[in-house]
Structure 1
Amino acid sequence: GQAAEQPPAGQPGVPAVTAVPVQVFNNSTVTGLAGRTGEALRESGFAVGEVANLPSNRPVVSESTVYFGTGAGERQAAEAVAAQLGIPALPRPADLEVGAPGVIVIVTQDLDR
């Protein structure tokens, strides 16, 4: 038989969406928004790592967005996170590199509902 850890058909070597690291950054004036978002994602099984305020040297993001890089499974994970949060998933811009691989969620006031 097949092992339970098989990736989706047609995508060999792609990790499960819940195995891709997820970082959550608050880019709003809503205290604790990244923390609440990170906790909700953790409860859904995502591999949430860093949860913090968006560093001031990063570009301002006007609406909550999930960004993915080119790593294995990042796009699929970003789309899964975005679907859960009801926000868009987009390719990560070069000026948003934060050093760690994986998906970056930036939350703004529009998510505080």
Structure 2
Amino acid sequence: MTSPESASPSRPAKAAGFALLGVAAVALIIGVVSLFGGGSDTPPSAEGSSTAPPAQTGSEPPSTPSSAPAGTTTTVPPTTTVPPTSSAAVPPPPVTQPGAAKVPVRVYNNSTITGLAVKAADDVRANGWNVEGTGNYSQGTIPTTTVYFRPGTEEEASAKELASVLRARVEPRFDGIQSSAPGIILIVTNDYQGASKNK
């Protein structure tokens, strides 16, 4: 007979052994049910994949092999879930900063077309910018429709985005408009094409 002192250390080992046997029995039952539980509704070629749980990521196929020999039990370890590898992990190419603040815009006509600033202002508003005013620019001749910004401010990203939408040139402010109120300045000329249709 063993004394109580020598029997007590083996009790936790026995309990752990029974627990492991219980886990093995549950795994064996799940494996047998997975192997034979498909019934006659499941075609033989899909037996291995029809009983596997769906992948948690939504984009990865089940990792249970579909060609397991009859009579063998295949178990999928719980660590087979692949972390999501969606395109959110890779940022889109930085054409413009996503969600960049759309700075207010003033639109000036430097063309021979009457009302072109108003038409351009409508295009600017239709694409999400706030237009603070329209008018004529008569201090010189601007060679092509251009969006102007103050370098080093939030105007730059917004001006580049607006220029892309309007198919216009984008440049830092020049001396003649350097001291104008903050915001983007759009000066439209005879070559103004309007907003691109693929936006």
Q: Does the pair score TM above 0.5?
A: yes
Matched, 1:110 2:185: no
TM-score by structure 1 length?
0.76
| Aligned ranges 1:4-23 → 2 under 5 Å | 16-18=100-102, 20-23=103-106
Match of 2:165 among 84, 87, 108: 84
Q: In 1, Cα distance between the equivalents of 2:184 and 2:177?
A: 11
Equivalences, count: 96
Equivalent pair of 1:64/1:108 in contact (CA under 8 Å): yes
| Structure 1 residues without counterparts, runs of 5 or longer | 1-14
TM-score by structure 2 length?
0.45
Which structure's CA Rg is the greater one?
Answer: 2
Equivalent pair of 1:17/1:80 in contact (CA under 8 Å): no
| Aligned ranges 1:61-80 → 2 under 5 Å | 61-70=142-151, 72-80=153-161
Matched, 1:48 2:127: no
Higher strand share: 1
Q: Secondary structure of the equivalent of 2:185?
A: strand
RMSD, matched Cα: 1.9
The change in CA–CA distance for 1:46 and 1:110 in structure 2 (over 3 A counts) is same
Instruction: Render the CA deviation track for 1:35-55: whole Å, top value 9, x for unaligned.
Output: 01101111111021111111x
| Structure 2 residues without counterparts, runs of 5 or longer | 1-98, 195-199
Higher helix share: 2
